[in-house]
Amino acid sequence: MARLSMKKMLALACLAALSVSSLAACGESSSSGESSSITTVSAGKLTVGVIDIPPFSSYNNGDPKGIDVSIVKQIAKDNGLEPVWQQATYADAVQSISGGTIDMAIGTIDVTAKRKQAVDFSASTYLDGLGMAAKKDKNIKTISDLEKVDSVGTVDGYLWVEDLRAILGDKLKTYPSSVELKADFDAGRLDVAIDAYGVQVPQFKDDSSVTVALANDHPDKRVAAIVQAPEAAFPYTKGNTSLGDALDKGIKTMRSEGEIVKLLKASGLTEGLAKVADKQYVVPLS
């Protein structure tokens, strides 16, 4: 009888232990969001290439900041994924995705027909305008004004690069990121720095000697990217519908709830940049 009671006691103890562990497991699952069924380079992780283009994204020595970073963090959290950040540039981001070393990339990457041959794109996040920063006495407002100066710089990978090169020739210098571009402009080695308008407004907000003109206000048919403003989105591995669906759902939710507008305004940008088309605009092949 004593032996039977002891067995019952042991069984009850085991059952209780199993119940506690099951509850703990349930607690862990609910605290970290849904268990992810999304296919990624590393299971349970979302590997993201970060291009330096503040305020949209900045690698920041492995502690990334910016509008795109905030969007991706929220989507990763909602889908039970851990973000893993890698530094990237416009020159290598798409290649890294198609090569399978990262899942996606961030940093004002425009949707183009050429890029869509190698990667897929999420829903659009915001518009991408062309900004021209110059000293006030240069009076730079239009593309034609650029032809009057000696040196112009921009970031490699933008849609307007080749059109500007056709207009400016050797006067145009390209840089791997906004950081190097601004450094040369600040050092006086460039008359005009051309970058995303959303990047330049906060960059020069405290410098009263510099004006930032939005080239899209004066469309020039020689530069297609200012006749029709391109839309930025997140490129990801081609054919990965599980990741694409998660990105689309997250971005559309944040757009409808006004979160992307809040992020733009918090960075000193106009909410007009959030007015993407109902049907995503894809820049055609040139």
Q: State mean pLDDT over 20-49.
A: 65
pLDDT tens digit sequence for 164-198 = 999 999 999 999 989 999 999 999 999 999 999 98
Note the pLDDT of residue 7: 45
Q: Would you tell me which CATH number, out of the four given (3.40.50.1370, 3.40.5.50, 3.40.190.10, 1.10.287.130), belongs to the domain 45-127+230-274?
A: 3.40.190.10
pLDDT tens digit sequence for 209-251 = 999 998 988 989 999 988 888 999 999 999 999 999 999 999 9
Distance CA 198, CA 267 (A): 9
DSSP label of 221? T
CATH code at 132-227: 3.40.190.10
Note the pLDDT of residue 2: 41
Q: State mean pLDDT over 59-69.
A: 96
Q: Cα angle vertex 278, ends 131, 156, to 5°?
A: 30
Question: For residue 1, what pLDDT band results from cuts at 50, 70 and 90?
Answer: very low
**Which range (2-11, 12-21, 23-32) has the least confidence?**
23-32
Residue extent(s) of CATH 3.40.190.10 domains in the chain? 45-127+230-274, 132-227
Note the pLDDT of residue 35: 57
| Cβ neighbours around 47 below 10 Å, total | 21
| Cβ neighbours around 4 below 10 Å, total | 8
Note the pLDDT of residue 227: 86
Note the pLDDT of residue 153: 98
DSSP SS3 for 1: coil
